[in-house]
Structure 1
């Protein structure tokens, strides 16, 4: 099946600044695709080129197999939801949702029917008569999406639409957005700097850095099998050590850290040799904690230390361990509560498998 969206060698320059550098990707019909990256990486520039608000310096944009480079923004089969929702406060909800349909010349009866259908789909039936300022933040978000969806775009673009919401509402809207995407069966292209948003909602994610895609894959791919050091450090919480390679055994490497520890991890990315600068990333949940070193004998990496902090946050609770008197290591606590009685300064032992360490050539090499 032809993808709903294809970007081919998309490039954008602003004078001497290369904002987007030869980016290519496609988005399957009916899927949720996110572009994740820090501020200034170029993700909004890509979105604005797809919408037609910016002209690419080079490359092509195809929607359902047809180039739209010569198509003005108001004629493209896309619509866009912005962070600031731009609902019309002087109009009621029905008039906000039906605004685009009226501009397209649709009859009143058909508009009313489509608006009611949209309200049903977003879970807000019967509120068409209400004013915008009577709605909660989450309800406004759903109305903004409905206003776009009644126009039946092939692709809906969402530019950090949850950024202005408070934390609890943002968490709830992650689930609601995914449900809305399934309800409308429309292709969503979503940009965000929030890794949690991308991981929760997306079928596929592109991690962007300095104008280029570092990796494109599922959330599981990015989290467990990062292909670059940037992805390993940007997606999810992680422990990170710098050092030099002391031994190479196939894809398993042994690294001497700057603080003097010897750690083992698996190579990712380009080949590494003895003496090369490298870095190892280890997820806090991959590390096990024990009262005695003997309990961790089966792990490649074993360190003794003392508890420096206890960070209780329910299921995400963790401790920080001063490892070997030099590095602070984050360790997720088991939900069993076995170590709930630990106190600052308590001696502990931590360990993890070499296969859980992602080792990359250091950018300083």
Structure 2
């Protein structure tokens, strides 16, 4: 199957600075592909090269197997939704959605039909005569997408489109955007620094750092089997320890942390050696909590700790536990059973986790 989008060995330099460093990826038809990374990593530069606003220093960009390097932005079969939606306040909703169609010279009856169809698809039928300032933030977001989709692009580019929304609306729009992508059956390429957005919506995610892709995979693959320390730390929350490897036994290993803890972890296929400096990452939800140490005998990492903080967040509530010598603070998810809901600061608890849940990397990060 021919990908809707292929980026081949893309490089973009600004003087002596390399913003995008030999990046290659392809996006299958009808999929939701996200580029996730911190500010300044190069993800917006990639988006602008795909849209035609920037020329790559080298490499190629193909849409449905045709290079678009020499095609101006207005002639490329892509459209773009920006964080600041740039809707025209002096126009009605219908006029906003039909703007590109009018520019393309379509007859008025055809424009009206396409606008009505788009409003149906975004779940806002019958509002064509309203003004932009009469809409909520989420409705404006949907109108901005409809304005792009009536032009029937092969690929829709979305540049952090939820960044200006409040938290509750942003959570709702994550679900709505995924539904809209399925309704239009169009390939979405989405850039964000918010790992929750990428995990919820995407079929595939590329994690970017310093101009390169660290890993491309599903959200589950990135979360549970990160390829690098950067991915382990950036995607989701983790407890992290640095130290030295004291034992290697197949895929399992032992690390003495810089603070003196002796922890078991797993290399998950990475080649690591005794004496090597390393990092170990453990998700807060991988750690079990108990009142009695005997309940945790099956774990190869276990300790007594004291609760130093309670972080209430409904079903995602956590505690911070300090080890007996006060060397480390460890984040632990509270079980949803409510058994530990009455914990107070200073309470003594038992915690434990499996070594297989500890992702270990060489100190260099891979």
- TM bucket (normalised to shorter chain) is over 0.9
Could you report, residue by residue, the CA deviation over 1:180-200 in whole angstroms, capped at 9, with x for unpaired residues?
A: 000000000000000000000
Structure 1, 260-269 or 5-14: larger mean CA deviation: 260-269
Superposition deviation, residue 124 in structure 1: 0.2
- The CA distance in 2 between the partners of 1:174 and 1:220, in whole Å, is 17
Aligned to 1:21: 21
The equivalences for 1:328-347 within 5 A come to 328-347=329-348
Aligned to 2:31: 31
Contact 2:97 2:147 in 1 (8 A): yes
Change in CA separation of 1:151 and 1:56 when aligned onto 2, cut-off 3 Å: same
Aligned to 1:290: 290
Could you report, residue by residue, the CA deviation over 1:255-282 in whole angstroms, capped at 9, with x for unpaired residues?
A: 0001111001111474111111001000
Aligned to 1:6: 6
Aligned to 2:352: 351
- The CA distance in 1 between the partners of 2:101 and 2:341, in whole Å, is 58
Superposition deviation, residue 292 in structure 1: 1.6
Structure 1, 191-200 or 320-329: larger mean CA deviation: 320-329
Structure 2 unpaired stretches of 5+: none
User: Does 1:43 find its partner at 2:46?
Assistant: no
SS at 1:316's partner residue? Answer: coil
Superposition deviation, residue 311 in structure 1: 1.2
Aligned to 2:160: 160
Contact 2:87 2:96 in 1 (8 A): yes
Aligned to 1:228: 228
Contact 1:269 1:360 in 2 (8 A): no
- The CA distance in 1 between the partners of 2:27 and 2:350, in whole Å, is 46
- The CA distance in 2 between the partners of 1:358 and 1:202, in whole Å, is 23
- The CA distance in 1 between the partners of 2:202 and 2:333, in whole Å, is 25
TM-score normalised by L of structure 1: 0.99
SS at 1:114's partner residue? Answer: helix
Contact 2:251 2:269 in 1 (8 A): no
The equivalences for 1:93-242 within 5 A come to 93-242=93-242
Structure 1 unpaired stretches of 5+: none
Give the RMSD, CA atoms, in angstroms: 1.0
Could you report, residue by residue, the CA deviation over 1:186-226 in whole angstroms, capped at 9, with x for unpaired residues?
A: 00000000000000000000000000000000000000000
Structure 1, 307-316 or 36-45: larger mean CA deviation: 307-316
Contact 1:102 1:111 in 2 (8 A): yes
- The CA distance in 1 between the partners of 2:107 and 2:28, in whole Å, is 33
- The CA distance in 2 between the partners of 1:143 and 1:170, in whole Å, is 16
Change in CA separation of 1:174 and 1:272 when aligned onto 2, cut-off 3 Å: same
- The CA distance in 1 between the partners of 2:365 and 2:339, in whole Å, is 40
Superposition deviation, residue 363 in structure 1: 2.3
SS at 2:342's partner residue? Answer: coil
Runs of 4+ in 1 over 2 A off after TM superposition: none
Could you report, residue by residue, the CA deviation over 1:284-337 in whole angstroms, capped at 9, with x for unpaired residues?
A: 000000112111110010111100111111110111101232111000000000
- The CA distance in 2 between the partners of 1:76 and 1:119, in whole Å, is 24
- The CA distance in 2 between the partners of 1:262 and 1:294, in whole Å, is 20
SS at 2:145's partner residue? Answer: helix
SS at 1:59's partner residue? Answer: strand
Superposition deviation, residue 364 in structure 1: 8.1
Change in CA separation of 1:58 and 1:293 when aligned onto 2, cut-off 3 Å: same
- The CA distance in 2 between the partners of 1:285 and 1:350, in whole Å, is 11
Aligned to 2:87: 87
- The CA distance in 2 between the partners of 1:288 and 1:330, in whole Å, is 11
SS at 2:294's partner residue? Answer: helix
Query: What count of residue pairs does the alignment treat as equivalent?
Result: 365
